[in-house]
Amino acid sequence: MKDTIAAIATGLSRAGISIIRISGPEAAAVASRLFRVGKKDALRPVDVGSFDSHTVHYGFIVDGAEVIDEVMLLYLKGPRTFTTEETVEIDCHGGILVTKKILSAVLKNGARLAEPGEFTKRAFENGRIDLSQAEAVMDLIAAGNDLALKNSVRQLRGSLRTRILAIRDEILSDVATIEAALDQPEYYSLEGFSSKLLDTVTAQQETISKLIRSFDDGRMLSEGIKTVILGKPNVGKSSLMNLLLGEDRAIVTDIAGTTRDVLSEEMRLNGIPLILIDTAGIHETADPVEQIGVNRAKGQAEEADLILYVADASEPLTDEDEMILRSVTKGKIIPIRNKTDLTVRTDEETFRAFLTRFSIAEEPVSVSAKEGSGLTELSERISELFFKGCLEADDEIVITSERQKECLNEAYESLSRVRESLASGMPEDFLSIDLMGAYGALSRILGEDADEDLINRIFSQFCLGK
């Protein structure tokens, strides 16, 4: 923490500008050795540390007698910086060579190259952010859609931290009440406390349970909803995929069984991230190659978050349609009647009655992949089925970290033991032990008492310069 670190904070490519960030106790001193002001033929050194904080200055970066570039220099005094340390940012022209040369000069004059995520790690270790906010920084960088971006910003602003701190404060208050009554029973009474504690713990578990359940939504926000298109041969699965993608990605013919393997594409449907998977038609076949495709299709369906089950509206439903729905054991299903532009032989009422035999209550969507109709309704249905607009609410929190989920599960189990102890009339000191177990698990979400290996592993996933 006593070192002064530096790194390129922008992507190393041709661009309008690049930014070299310097942070640490010698940031201003390092910059002073390089930064010059005045006319280009009469440059003079300047003490960067004498600048007012949060001000921008025009000048040149030199390396010995060589003028490297004309730049803007931003000087920030701690603790009002991202790392809470003295910070200098050099905004130079965005060429790869010039950016590297300026960084090299910075390193030669007293800074060392920052490790991946070291700026954010210093912000965490200096108390500027907690570990959940640091993980939100990583999610923010990786966000590939508007929903993921909104969720990352919400967590970066401390929404999860606020929720965790509120539960911890309640736990500490209850533990303090128990300890006071045990130490000085003549002054403090626990009469009626058990009933109140049970209500408090139940409410806390509901909050924690909601956060745990949000993890699947968080995973899908960051990775995409694994969406498998399933159906018997020649119902228009590949045509539907091409319609969703807006391009002819899958081969489409009138010959049943054209698709024999899995085809996967990433896309966004009205801002919703999808991993779209086209599969071979599921049917009985003696062809060993087709059978491999059928088995792979079934395997994909087992791992899907969402199944788009496609039936052909221009043909009657068959035993193969029944076999497909019997094979689906998990994942949410949106039933689709395709080829509605043709003469209909399976109407909505017949299709709906068929679906109820398999306990599928989701209303079917009518589509013509050929004419492009039904896409808007399908998009809205996917949004309602998964996110229900919840991410538009300011107070909604969606967790994306497996680490956070494990801590929440541990806290939930500790609170469950508190409820069991209350039900069985266990002594109050047993309650304190499990309450503090929940407190500790919640604290680890924020990075308190986290071991060094965990901290290093999290920040090693960051990019250089962040």
Sheet holding 225-230, edge to edge: 263-269, 272-278, 225-230, 306-312, 332-338, 365-366
Residue 62: pLDDT over 60 = yes
pLDDT of residue 106: 97
Helices 131-142 and 159-183 sit at what angle, rounded to 10 degrees? Answer: 160
Residue 264: pLDDT over 60 = yes
pLDDT of residue 253: 44
* Residue 391: band (very low, low, confident or very high) from pLDDT cuts 50, 70, 90: very low
- The CA-based diameter of the chain, rounded to the nearest angstrom, is 88
- State in words which class domain 137-218+401-447 has: mainly alpha
Domain with CATH 3.40.50.300 in the chain: 224-391
d(CA 419, CA 46): 66
Burial of 294 (0-12, 13-18, 19+ CB in 10 A): buried
Give residue-wise pLDDT tens across range 236-245: 888 888 888 8
Amino acid occupying residue 84: T
Place of tokens 């009933």: 195
For the segment 271-278, the average pLDDT, to the nearest whole number, is 82
pLDDT of residue 414: 96
Alpha-carbon distances, residue 242 vs 233, 253, 366 (angstroms): 16, 13, 17
Q: Assess contact for 158 and 136: CB atoms under 8 A.
A: no
Report the chain's terminal Cα–Cα distance, integer Å: 16
d(CA 288, CA 141): 45
Residue 316: pLDDT over 70 = yes
- State in words which class domain 5-125 has: alpha beta
* C-alpha closest to that of 282 among 241, 239, 323, 240: 323
In percent, the amount of the chain with pLDDT more than 70 equals: 89
Residue 250: pLDDT over 90 = no
pLDDT of residue 276: 87
d(CA 461, CA 463): 7
Among the ranges given (62-71, 73-82, 88-97, 425-434), the one the predictor scored with the smallest mean pLDDT: 425-434
pLDDT of residue 153: 83
pLDDT of residue 256: 44
Give residue-wise pLDDT tens across range 153-203: 888 888 899 999 999 999 999 999 888 887 787 777 778 888 999 999 999
- State in words which class domain 224-391 has: alpha beta
pLDDT of residue 287: 60
Element (DSSP H or E) covering residue 135: helix 131-142
Domain with CATH 1.20.120.430 in the chain: 137-218+401-447
Q: For residue 336, which phi and psi values (nearest 5 degrees)?
A: -130, 130
Residue 358: pLDDT over 60 = yes
pLDDT of residue 260: 45
Give residue-wise pLDDT tens across range 282-302: 756 556 556 666 667 677 778
Alpha-carbon distances, residue 140 vs 45, 119, 222, 307, 431 (angstroms): 38, 15, 10, 29, 39
